[in-house]
């Protein structure tokens, strides 16, 4: 028996009996006179993100062009936007190095922090969330939860191989407080409120 097996056998033999139940963690909900959408918007903007309340009657691809007029390479991981660069499960991360705009649909948002939740299902290739210069995230306003405790209760955290809560664009600041966006990731994060029904889903 190896040292590892000896240690694991000793741990298994000394488990508490009966096994203690995992305590219930409260959701720490805070009463608010504001809507989840308003809280999400303000938190997103405070973290350097941009908020677009609706398509304003425009097709998504037209709105995308108006938001990013200089974009040459647009990579969309959602069928709701066409894009100019195809992406699938076999796409190598290095193939996304020149992407100007990445487009994804978030599974849900978190009002407390202005975050959006993305997994390998939303990103197709995880590097899209970091190698693109700009990230446009589609979010159904009905898919916003109040806080991180509610977010971590989502069962998709247990089934996803990869998951990330993205809060604003990449940013760093030196000791003198000069803030630079895009130092380690996307230079801008724009969240567009777009119900799933608007996409014909």
* CATH code of the domain containing 173: 3.40.50.10420
pLDDT at 200 over 60: no
- Which residues are CB-contacts of 136 (< 8 A; sequence separation ≥ 6)? 64, 67, 68, 81, 101, 102, 103, 104, 190, 192
In a domain, 30, yes or no: no
- Helix (H) / strand (E) element for 165: namely strand 163-166
Q: How far apart are CA 71 and CA 177, in angstroms?
A: 30
Cα of first residue to Cα of last residue in the chain, in angstroms, is: 56
Query: How high is the pLDDT of residue 23?
Result: 84
Q: Total domain count for the chain?
A: 1
In a domain, 101, yes or no: yes
Q: Which domain holds residue 105?
A: 35-199
In a domain, 26, yes or no: no
Read off the pLDDT band of 201 (50, 70, 90): very low
Q: What is the pTM of this model?
A: 0.84
Percent of the chain with pLDDT over 70: 98
Read off the pLDDT band of 198 (50, 70, 90): low
In a domain, 10, yes or no: no
> What is the mean pLDDT of the segment spanning 32-52?
94
Query: How high is the pLDDT of residue 65?
Result: 95
In a domain, 2, yes or no: no
CB 132 within 8 A of CB 96: yes
In a domain, 145, yes or no: yes
């Amino acid at each position: 028996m190896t040292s590892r097996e000896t240690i694991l056998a000793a741990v298994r033999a000394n488990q508490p009996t009966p096994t203690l139940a995992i305590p219930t963690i409260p959701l720490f909900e805070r009463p608010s006179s504001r809507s989840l959408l308003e809280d999400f918007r303000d938190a997103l903007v405070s973290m350097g993100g941009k908020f677009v309340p609706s398509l304003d009657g425009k097709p998504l691809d037209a709105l995308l062009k108006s938001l990013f007029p200089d974009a040459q390479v647009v990579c969309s991981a959602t069928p709701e936007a066409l894009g100019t660069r195809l992406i699938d499960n076999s796409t190598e991360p290095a193939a996304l190095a020149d992407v100007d705009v990445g487009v994804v649909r978030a599974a849900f948002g978190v009002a407390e922090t202005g975050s959006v939740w993305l997994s390998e299902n939303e990103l197709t290739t995880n590097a899209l969330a970091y190698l693109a210069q700009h990230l446009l995230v589609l979010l159904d306003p009905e898919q916003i939860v109040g806080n991180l405790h509610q977010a971590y209760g989502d069962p998709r955290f247990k089934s996803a191989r990869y998951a990330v809560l993205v809060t604003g664009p990449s940013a760093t600041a030196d000791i003198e407080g000069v803030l630079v966006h895009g130092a380690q990731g996307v230079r801008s994060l724009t969240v567009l409120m777009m119900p799933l029904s608007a996409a014909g889903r």
